[in-house]
């Protein structure tokens, strides 16, 4: 049974830290929704990003997970977590900033792969997404995160809308994304100023639409959306062979970035890479 967040903080003479983006999720249905989205089984190694006071952790330790690594940055919360979960040998509580997690090192320790879950601070959302995208070839089987609703909507934005942008393309090019549920701001203590949403995603292993160079792909998409009001012909005018590639793919140079689907960007990035290599 999870104790009240407010009472637990008061009991230890603590307050939520604004600088850490601490908004503790208190609603059991939301915890259960994140858990279901992760689909935990008895072979899984689960990484929890930001254990907080352990309210999601409490659900994790009663799951089938073989092991759970719960990361928490706030050293004031570590003793609370260790006391709460001292009787669960499958759980390791680690004091660390979740931005510094070495996923390659974790895969070396747990080669069957990882599942990742967490109620993450809003200010770290982009950093965490980009870090996970950079490791999409690793066996990270499923990710379920509670993030700002606005970001979740942007990730799921249709092609051609003003919300459609960099994160939409990158995540949907590399992963299958699911918008699980909206979580009202009053489901947290303290309540943030905006609503949240649960999303889940798993990386795509699709040889037909595979990104040949992740570095070049991210660079191309970033470049395009930094100048999203301009045409593709203008944006790519100083990039060798880019216009030839647009013609090869029957993409009109007068189109703007938000009119290209994630798959279009994959094909364009790959075509530029192939043509550049063939002319060396």
The model's pLDDT over 59-96, given as tens digits with 9 standing for 90+, comes to 999 999 999 999 999 999 999 999 999 999 999 999 99
**Same domain assignment for residues 114 and 176:** yes
Number of domains in the chain: 2
| Residue 42 covered by a domain | yes
Alpha-carbon distances, residue 108 vs 71, 138, 194, 204 (angstroms): 18, 10, 38, 21
**Same domain assignment for residues 122 and 240:** no
Residue 30's nearest CA partner among 189, 180, 194 is 180
What global pTM score does this model have? 0.94
Adjacent-strand bridge partners of 114: 45, 140
**pLDDT score at 1:** 66
Report yes or no: 246 and 188 within 8 Å, Cβ to Cβ.
no
**Same domain assignment for residues 116 and 250:** no
Q: What's 172's domain CATH number?
A: 3.40.50.150
**Same domain assignment for residues 199 and 223:** no
Enclosing domain of residue 256: 214-278
Cis amide leading into 190 (omega within 30):
yes
Three-class DSSP category at 112: coil
**Same domain assignment for residues 25 and 74:** yes
**Same domain assignment for residues 57 and 195:** yes
Domain final residue pick, 203, 222, 251: 203
| Residue 209 covered by a domain | no
**pLDDT score at 205:** 80
- pLDDT tens sequence across 152-190: 999 999 999 999 999 999 999 999 999 999 999 999 999
**pLDDT score at 240:** 84
| Residue 228 covered by a domain | yes
Report yes or no: 166 and 222 within 8 Å, Cβ to Cβ.
yes
182/196 Cα distance (integer angstroms)? 6
DSSP 69: E
**Same domain assignment for residues 199 and 219:** no
Mean pLDDT, rounded, for 94-112: 97
- pLDDT tens sequence across 23-64: 999 999 999 999 999 999 999 999 999 999 999 999 999 999
| Residue 62 covered by a domain | yes
Report yes or no: 269 and 217 within 8 Å, Cβ to Cβ.
yes
- pLDDT tens sequence across 226-277: 999 999 999 999 988 888 999 999 999 999 999 999 999 999 999 999 998 8
Residue 94's nearest CA partner among 115, 74, 112, 121 is 74
Report yes or no: 45 and 124 within 8 Å, Cβ to Cβ.
no
Burial 144-157 (b: 16+ CB within 10 A, else e): bbbbbbebbbbbbb
**Same domain assignment for residues 176 and 221:** no
Cα within 13 Å of Cα(89), Cβ side:
0
67/43 Cα distance (integer angstroms)? 8
- Residue 206 clears pLDDT 80, i.e. is over it: no
Adjacent-strand bridge partners of 128: none
**pLDDT score at 229:** 95
- Compute the mean pLDDT over every residue in the chain, rounded to the nearest whole number: 96
**Same domain assignment for residues 127 and 37:** yes
Q: Please, which contacts does 20-24 make with residues 24 or more away whose CB atoms are closer than 8 Å?
A: 20/73, 20/74, 20/121, 21/121, 21/122, 21/123, 21/124, 22/52, 22/74, 22/121, 23/119, 23/188, 23/189, 23/190, 23/191, 23/192, 24/52, 24/53, 24/55, 24/119, 24/188, 24/189
Chain-centre distance of CA 114, in angstroms?
14
Burial 170-199 (b: 16+ CB within 10 A, else e): bbbbbbebeebbebeeebbbeeeeebbbbb
**Same domain assignment for residues 261 and 180:** no
**Same domain assignment for residues 10 and 112:** yes
161/153 Cα distance (integer angstroms)? 11
């Amino acid at each position: 049974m999870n104790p009240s967040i407010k009472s637990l903080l008061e009991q230890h003479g603590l307050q939520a830290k604004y600088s850490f983006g601490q908004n503790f999720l208190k609603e059991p249905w939301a915890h259960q929704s994140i858990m279901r989205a992760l689909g935990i089984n008895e072979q899984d190694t689960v990484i929890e990003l930001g254990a907080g006071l352990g309210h999601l952790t409490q659900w994790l330790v009663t799951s089938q997970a073989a092991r759970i690594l719960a990361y928490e940055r706030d050293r004031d919360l570590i003793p609370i977590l260790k006391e709460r979960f001292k009787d669960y040998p499958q759980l390791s509580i680690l004091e660390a900033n979740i931005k510094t997690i070495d996923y390659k090192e974790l895969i070396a320790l747990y080669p069957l792969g990882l599942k990742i879950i967490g109620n993450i601070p809003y200010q770290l959302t982009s950093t965490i997404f980009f870090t996970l995208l950079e490791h999409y070839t690793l066996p990270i089987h499923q990710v379920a995160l509670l993030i700002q609703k606005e970001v979740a909507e942007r990730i799921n934005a249709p092609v051609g809308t003003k919300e459609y942008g960099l994160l939409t393309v990158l995540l949907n090019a590399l992963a299958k994304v699911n918008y699980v549920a909206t979580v009202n701001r009053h489901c947290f203590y303290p309540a943030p100023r905006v609503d949240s949403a649960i999303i889940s995603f798993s990386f795509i292993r699709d040889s037909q639409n595979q990104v040949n160079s992740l570095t070049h792909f991210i660079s191309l998409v970033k470049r395009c959306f930094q100048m999203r009001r301009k045409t593709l012909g203008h944006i790519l005018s100083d990039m060798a062979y880019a216009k030839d590639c647009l013609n090869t793919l029957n993409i009109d140079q007068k189109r703007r970035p938000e009119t290209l689907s994630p798959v279009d960007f994959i094909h364009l990035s790959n075509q530029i890479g192939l043509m550049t290599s063939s002319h060396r």
